[in-house]
Structure formats: structure tokens, C-alpha cells
């Protein structure tokens, strides 16, 4: 079964990455992805559902571990949306290499690994053993726009074709 069919069977809808990149509420300057050889580096992705930020807040204060787990799952879906934009087909992904998860955490909250399991579990559901990345789960005080989770994902892929990245804002030329 294709990865996209697996997503459909899980009731998950791929985000419209091009539409999302047309707006930039944070003012941050970055590109969606960068390919080097057969590695695809995906910029920080947050939980989005139906085109809007999802499960915002602070873990251990506003949100439970279960909420954070779901937020991480949707942030991983956003990463996969970028991978689909870049590669054209999620079945080209051959290995999840590294996942770095940032969790907006209250003082004393130490369950970041359980929160980021939401992302890891989705990757494994879709890709089996190849979906299991190396990983870090980092607690922090504050993420942009009060997002609960932000993920940075690096994937290996087959083939050579990669679409040019989307940029949040044009970066001024060096003077």
C-alpha cells in the first residue's frame, strides 16, 4: 500500500504546503527544504490541521502529554507534506534519518520524549523500520506563535528529481 493511501486510511489529510507558504505570520526567513545528494533536510514544521495552527500551548500547563503526542503527529504530517512537495511522491522516501523535536514546556515538564513519540510513531506506521530515525526531544520555554511542538526532519530518498524549495521570504542579496 502506498504511503499516501496509508495516510488516508489513518484519516490524515496532506497539507497544502504551497498555500501555507504564501503567508508568513512569524516573519521568519527560511526555505521549506534543501536537498543534498539523496538527503532531504526539512525546515522546522509545526502542527497544522485544516490549514491552521493546531494544539498550540505549553505542555505541562495548557496541554497534556496526549495533546502533545497528537501535535507531534500533525507536525510530522506537515514535514511529510513538504517531502511530498519536494519529491512528488512519498514512496520515494527510503529512510527517516534524524528527527529533532522541540517541545514548548512548562517548568518541571520532562516528558518531551513521550510527546515526540507522536511523530516517530507516525513515521514507523507509514514506513516500518525505515521510518525509525535517530532522534532528540528537547524541552524549551517558548516556540514561535505559542506552538506546542516543532520538528526538524531529515530523510533519505531515491531518484534525483527534487523541486526547488519554497521560501517564506526573499532573503536580501549580500552587499
For every one of its 175 residues, what pLDDT tens digit does the chain have, with 9 covering 90 and above?
A: 899 999 999 999 999 998 888 776 667 788 999 999 999 999 999 999 998 999 999 999 999 999 999 999 999 999 999 999 999 999 999 999 999 999 999 999 999 999 999 999 999 999 999 999 999 999 999 999 999 999 999 999 999 999 999 887 755 444 4
Whole-Å CA distances, 170 to 87, 88, 100, 173? 22, 24, 26, 9
Using the structure block, give the residue that is written with the C-alpha cell 521549506: 32
> Which helix (H) or strand (E) element contains residue 173?
none
118 in helix, strand or coil? helix
Measured between alpha carbons, how far is 163 from 78 in angstroms, rounded to an integer?
Answer: 17
* 8 A C-beta contact, residue 118 and residue 1: no
Helix (H, G, I), strand (E, B) or coil at 154: strand
CATH architecture of structural domain 36-157 = 2-Layer Sandwich (3.30)
Cell of 102: 522541540
- Say if CB 52 and CB 100 are below 8 A apart: no
Place of cell 506563535: 145
Q: Residue ranges of the domains in the chain?
A: 36-157
| Measured distance CA(133)–CA(120) in Å, rounded | 7
* DSSP conformational letter for 99: E
pTM attached to this predicted model = 0.94
Amino acid at each position: 500500500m502506498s504511503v499516501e493511501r496509508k495516510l488516508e486510511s489513518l484519516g490524515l489529510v496532506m497539507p497544502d504546503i504551497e498555500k501555507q507558504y504564501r503567508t508568513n505570520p512569524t516573519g521568519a526567513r527560511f526555505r521549506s527544504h534543501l536537498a543534498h545528494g539523496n538527503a532531504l533536510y526539512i525546515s522546522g514544521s509545526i502542527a497544522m490541521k485544516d490549514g491552521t495552527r493546531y494544539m498550540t500551548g505549553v505542555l505541562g500547563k495548557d496541554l497534556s502529554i496526549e495533546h502533545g503526542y497528537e501535535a507531534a503527529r500533525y507536525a510530522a504530517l506537515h514535514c511529510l507534506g513538504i517531502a511530498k512537495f519536494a519529491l512528488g511522491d512519498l514512496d520515494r522516501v527510503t529512510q527517516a534519518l534524524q528527527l529533532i523535536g522541540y517541545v514548548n514546556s512548562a517548568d518541571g515538564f520532562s516528558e518531551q520524549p513521550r510527546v515526540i513519540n507522536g511523530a516517530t510513531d507516525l513515521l514507523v506506521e507509514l514506513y516500518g523500520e525505515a521510518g525509525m530515525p535517530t532522534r532528540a526531544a528537547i524541552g524549551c520555554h517558548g516556540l514561535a506563535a505559542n506552538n506546542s511542538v516543532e520538528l526538524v526532519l531529515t530523510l533519505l530518498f531515491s531518484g534525483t528529481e527534487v523541486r526547488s524549495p519554497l521560501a517564506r521570504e526573499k532573503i536580501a542579496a549580500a552587499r
